[in-house]
Structure 1
Amino acid sequence: MSQHIQPPAPESGAAAGPAIPAAEPVAYPAEPARPGNIGLGIAAAAVTALVAAAAYGGIMNAIDRQVGYAAVGVGLLIGFAAGKLGGKNPVLPVAGALLSLGAVYLGQLFFIALALADYGNVGLGEVLDKAGVGGLTDIWQEGSDAMDYVFLAIGGFVAFGAAKKASD
């Protein structure tokens, strides 16, 4: 059981001690704005683009078709990396969108390479060595349809918005 002890009341006529001023609220300085580092933002977005392209191609190979959500994921990852690490620089959403376009495209090329390796029962390295990017691009152009371009646009659009949102 807790007891609360009150100090004795001053005797009548006795002088009260010095008055203690009320505590004033302490004002802390505002958190400084996070400076942007455009180089770090673009570098992070570029590395993320390469990883996302490989994942995108791998997902398409595993399910044997394209999925819009995967292109959205590519754009989100790249845009987030650009905006979060690069800050509010207006170049970063544009760079993120362009890198996302490239990542979705590379992912589609990677899907073609994986499919050729599976079809020919050869290693991925052999397909990349013999076909090269030019040969994979030729195959992509022959087989591409409107949806391929829609997926490119989706990735770029999402990356632009994600970069702007992540920099807030």
Structure 2
Amino acid sequence: MSQPVPPPGNPFADGAYPAAPQPAPVRDNVALGVLAALVAALVGGIVYGVVAGSIEREIGWAAIGVGFLAGFAASKVGGPNRILAVAAAVFSLGAVYLGQLVGIAVIGSEELNVPFAEMFFQHFDLLTQAWNESKDPMTFLFFVLAGVGAFGGARKAAQ
């Protein structure tokens, strides 16, 4: 018995099958991922500080967002390396601290009627002193939230 003849115009005639999709190339550039995490953390920290200073309070989800941004950028650019998640978490801690200082500088510059740049760069010692005097358990909770966000962002980008 002979095999049936496929109708004309059939792309699977003669045993032709579509090629299996190729896996995406694995990104594995740790240095570029660390750089991306640093840049994302700095940008996120500055935005976090400006928002916190403008509304004169900190927001927990914004701290998570800073960490998530750093972790996501690190893994998206550098690949699924766990070192990138740790680097993003460390950078996000620094970014939240920077954001808290920026927020204090925004508030101080408005209250004292001095430019933000002068407040931040020429009176940095006063900012750190104000941060030390105003820190409470919630301050450190924001650090934890940023670190958790960094690991979450790295995991999401690696999927």
Question: Fold match, TM over 0.5?
Answer: yes
Question: Is the contact between residue 48 and residue 63 of structure 2 (CA under 8 Å) also seen in structure 1?
Answer: yes
SS in 2 for 1:22: helix
| TM-score normalized by the length of structure 1 | 0.81
2:69 maps to 1:77: yes
Q: 1:112 aligns with which of 101, 104, 128?
A: 104
How many angstroms apart in 1 are the aligned matches of 2:41 and 2:110? 24
The residue that corresponds to 1:147 in the other structure is 138
2:51 maps to 1:51: no
What is the aligned-residue RMSD (CA, Å)? 1.8
Offset, 1:29: 6.0
2:54 maps to 1:62: yes
How many angstroms apart in 1 are the aligned matches of 2:66 and 2:74? 12
Unaligned runs of 5+ in 2: 7-12
How many angstroms apart in 2 are the aligned matches of 1:69 and 1:90? 23
Unaligned runs of 5+ in 1: 1-18
Offset, 1:104: 0.7
Question: Is the contact between residue 54 and residue 107 of structure 2 (CA under 8 Å) also seen in structure 1?
Answer: no
Offset, 1:52: 0.7
Higher mean C-alpha deviation, range 32-41 or range 56-65: 32-41
Tell which structure's C-alpha radius of gyration is larger: 1
SS in 1 for 2:57: coil
How many angstroms apart in 1 are the aligned matches of 2:24 and 2:119? 52
- Describe how 1:1-168 pairs up with structure 2 within 5 A: 22-28=14-20, 30-132=22-124, 134-168=125-159
Q: Alignment identity in percent?
A: 42
How many angstroms apart in 1 are the aligned matches of 2:148 and 2:95? 13
Question: Is the contact between residue 86 and residue 167 of structure 1 (CA under 8 Å) also seen in structure 2?
Answer: no
Count of residue correspondences? 149
